[in-house]
Amino acid sequence: MQTAAIAFDRFDKLQDDACESRIRAAKAALGKRLVILGHHYQRADVYKHADLTGDSLKLSRLAAETSAEFIVFCGVHFMAEVADIMTHGQRTVVLPDLNAGCSMADMANLGKVERAWRELSEVLNPDEMITPVTYINSAADLKAFCGEHGGIVCTSSNAGKILEWSLARREKVLFFPDQHLGRWSGFQRGIPQEQMVIWDFDQPLGGLTPEQIHNAKILLWKGHCSVHQMFQPQHIIRFRNQYPDGIVISHPECNFEVCKASDYVGSTEYILKTVKAGAPNTRWLVGTELNLVNRLADEVKHEGKIVQFMAPTVCMCSTMARIDPQHLAWSLENLADGKVVNKISVPKNEADLARLALRRMLDVS
């Protein structure tokens, strides 16, 4: 007789030390059947258990390449969906806590995007004139929407190349859900600010006139990252006044003024590589998630490098932090016991269309 899954309440009050030993035991029991993927923003007490780490683009590739039976994704919901999509549903993908979401991803849903597409059809033919581009920080059904309408997925690593591909095919782009990544990527490719307009999904016709839509090259969805919006130009000014030789590096999810005031702008992988390749005894101000910054500071301090977090207040990805040692231990022990909890499974038709958009991205990248 098959027994029921182990209830989480047996783990909820466990101390972290006890969780760590149980995580290690479950990993040993599962062996090569298991791979744990960890995003750079993950909290340290979980990140250390990851077999493979990276940003969204790197982890999407790693998910596609793994032969493990079980993928436990220490990240957020859309990342686990990508893992299921890229493995054609042939691996069992587990998200230790289903509440680990993304506030930015939630700012664009299928209903709102489909309504925008219908409203755009009042002004022009979107299927002939607009390439829908969704940031990988989005739900699977939005990736499927892009797959169905000749669109594509992007990450912070490749958004520039994706825009070039998109605008070479059609004259406009609808970019969602993060306006800041879209604006910075467009600016880097010489697109004037006046040709990048905000689509306010709460307003009829996105709050735009037909003339504004006709003149636009990029329609930027009114979405943002709650972490990266905390960074402001005054944080950079204060740093430069105190440390004139200091170097500023930011993630492109930061607002335009922060990116423009930075010395370097790039994805989490880019930030890690750039700081690690920097000269010894340099000082860096980093505008991205706190867990990554703290980990990077520890990794480079032996070279005399000082890495500072940009915001004066604590600012971390609270939804990513929902993956804690207790949830990880619970999900792994269930797998070791032959039970699957919190399985992420994208419906086949949706997965096929989403995979099409993701494959376009990987080919362009």
Top pLDDT among 57 and 291 is at 291
- How far is the C-alpha of 358 from the C-alpha of 140, rounded, in Å? 10
DSSP state of 342: S
Per-residue model confidence (pLDDT) at position 315: 63
Q: What is the mean pLDDT of the chain?
A: 94
CA distances from 172 to 135, 151, 255 (A): 16, 11, 22
| Joined tokens for residue 187 | 């600016």
- How far is the C-alpha of 201 from the C-alpha of 220, rounded, in Å? 10
Which residues touch 22 (CB under 8 Å, ≥6 apart)? 14, 329, 332, 333
- The pLDDT confidence band at residue 101, using thresholds 50, 70 and 90, is confident
The helix (run of H) or strand (run of E) holding residue 320 is none
- The pLDDT confidence band at residue 319, using thresholds 50, 70 and 90, is confident
Model confidence at 191: pLDDT above 80: yes
SS3 316: coil
Go through 62-94 and write b for each residue having 16 or more CB atoms within 10 A of its CB, e for each that does not: bbbebebebbbbbbbbbbbbbbbbbbeeebbbb
> Per the confidence metrics, is the pTM higher than 0.95?
no
Cβ–Cβ < 8 Å for 179, 222: yes
- If you compute the radius of gyration of the chain from its CA atoms, what whole number of angstroms results? 21
Per-residue model confidence (pLDDT) at position 3: 65
Per-residue pLDDT tens digits for 30-83 = 999 999 999 988 989 999 999 999 887 788 788 888 889 999 999 999 999 999
Domain architecture of the chain: domains with CATH: 8-101+320-347 (3.40.50.10800), 105-225 (3.40.50.10800), 228-309 (3.40.50.10800)
Average pLDDT over residues 273-286: 98
- The pLDDT confidence band at residue 313, using thresholds 50, 70 and 90, is confident
- The pLDDT confidence band at residue 316, using thresholds 50, 70 and 90, is low
Per-residue model confidence (pLDDT) at position 1: 36
Model confidence at 116: pLDDT above 90: yes
| Joined tokens for residue 257 | 């003024």
- The pLDDT confidence band at residue 314, using thresholds 50, 70 and 90, is low
